[in-house]
Amino acid sequence: MSFLLWIVFGLIVGFIASNVVGSGGGLLTDIILGVIGAVIGGWLFQQFGMRGVTGFNLWSGLVAVIGAIVVLLIFRLVRRA
């Protein structure tokens, strides 16, 4: 995917994940954590023998949201400490 699509994808994923978890980090933080979450989600799913992030589609969105939720939960734990 192009860099711009990763930003848009990260924004959407970060927004959804932050609404689930409640990060309170702001728009830029949601974008960054959404993109990181997409990468980590794709990696995690591949480790379990499943497809990771394959492009701008529903499956990749689900994988990325799960990864972003994990990243946001870790972010909240670190931020509290």
What are the phi and psi torsion angles at 23 (to 5°)? -75, -45
Q: Please write the tens of the pLDDT for every residue from 38-64.
A: 788 888 888 888 887 777 788 888 888
- Model's pTM, two decimal places? 0.79
pLDDT of residue 23 exceeding 70, the answer is: no
